[in-house]
Amino acid sequence: MELILFVIVAALAFEYINGFHDTAISIATSVSTKVLTPRQAVAMAATFNLFGALVGTAVAATIGKGLVDTSYVTPITVFCALFGAIIWNLTTWWLGLPSSSSHALVGGLCGASLAAAHGRWSVIKLEGVWHKILLPMFTAPVVGILGGCLLMFILLFFLHRQRPTMINRVFGRLQLLSAAWMGFSHGTNDAQKTMGIIALLLFTGTKAGAFHDLPGWLEFLRTPEFVVAGWVKVACAVTMAAGTAAGGWRIIRTLGHKVVRLQPIHGFAAQTMAAGVIHLASHFGIPLSTTQVISASIVGVGTTKRFSAVKWGMVGKIVWAWVLTIPVTALLGYGLQKFCLAMHIGG
């Protein structure tokens, strides 16, 4: 039981880091366009992340049972997956690179599960990984770039005769709505990933007999209904909101200033496109990378100013972080699980 509680703490630590890592990405455009101060943007993102996290469970189901064969997963496997993801998230945060917490968690889980299964590749549900992770990993940035570019061209077509001061004033207000939607959409997707990992943890704990000694009045702690609809959802939502409130200024600076300079109309277009894509993905249970979608949308919007307006050197560094996330975290999860097996940690 102590191990279960320890891994739950690790899961919530991951969620907290996710809050100041990925949520920084969702508010960067609002800060860079000066529509919101950093403090206002963080407060708005934390609030709407909280609301979004309490809605739906489709993404949680994907993480909890759609990617690996749970018969090989133990509580220590879940811990190794989380720890590998945390190492990568903190590393990329320190470097100021927007990487994907979603892909970090998936990579850690697949690597740790593979080690727990002693190299049996059948432990990974390849169809689920392909349709829910890898295919969206390649298509989401394309949709973000093309969608952001198209939406921006449409706005410019209808507004090209208007005065810049009027456009900035109107879209400064509209960006408040797009920022709120972005925060809400991020909550519906990212917070659910940790819900799914805790649900998987409690399932494996039940299978291992960790809850056999619970008194009768605490039996509800391990029912699937309580895991999905109860304290797990609330804990993840509140923890992500707290992490968001801590801010993620290194990443905000990267996306807000080092990729392309934005005006309110560009910020509105990028956030609206990204929020729409993430919201749709959450509906279908796809653990989408918020990082990829909003970064791609910013690039797409930025290219409408002029192609050279985008700082492609920084974009290249971001792309490398995307490409490396799943392999690196899979190796970290695999190595950590192998170490635990060698040391007979966790059974």
Pairwise CA distance, residues 166 & 150, whole Å: 22
Higher-pLDDT residue of 307, 248: 307
Whether residue 198 contacts residue 8, with contact meaning beta carbons closer than 8 Å, is answered with yes
Exposed / middle / buried, residue 47 (Cβ in 10 Å: 0-12, 13-18, 19+): middle
Segments in the chain forming alpha helices (H):
2-32, 38-53, 58-65, 75-95, 101-116, 126-129, 135-159, 164-207, 224-229, 231-246, 249-253, 264-283, 290-303, 312-342
Record the tokens describing residue 237, joined without a space. 């939502």
Pairwise CA distance, residues 87 & 17, whole Å: 10
Residue-wise DSSP of 69-100: -GGG--HHHHHHHHHHHHHHHHHHHHHT----
SS3 of residue 110 by DSSP: helix
pLDDT tens, position by position, 314-339: 678 778 888 899 999 999 999 999 99
By C-alpha distance, which of 256, 284, 282 is closest to 271? 256
Whether residue 84 contacts residue 111, with contact meaning beta carbons closer than 8 Å, is answered with yes
Q: What proportion of the chain, given as a percentage, has pLDDT over 70? A: 86
Judged against a pLDDT cut of 80, whether residue 259 lies above it is answered with no
Q: What is the pLDDT at residue 251?
A: 60
Cα(first)–Cα(last) distance of the chain, in Å? 13
Judged against a pLDDT cut of 70, whether residue 70 lies above it is answered with yes
Record the tokens describing residue 53, joined without a space. 């996290």
Higher-pLDDT residue of 20, 74: 74
Domain spans, the chain? 2-342
Pairwise CA distance, residues 36 & 255, whole Å: 15
Pairwise CA distance, residues 288 & 135, whole Å: 10
Pairwise CA distance, residues 158 & 170, whole Å: 14
Exposed / middle / buried, residue 160 (Cβ in 10 Å: 0-12, 13-18, 19+): exposed
Cβ within 8 Å of residue 154, ≥6 positions away: none
The secondary element (H helix, E strand) that includes residue 342 is helix 312-342
* Residue 39, CB-side half-sphere exposure with 13 Å CA sphere: 0
Pairwise CA distance, residues 198 & 8, whole Å: 7
Pairwise CA distance, residues 61 & 318, whole Å: 29
pLDDT tens, position by position, 293-310: 888 898 898 888 877 767
- Average model confidence (pLDDT) for the chain? 84
- The neighbour count for residue 274, using CB atoms within 10 Å, is 34
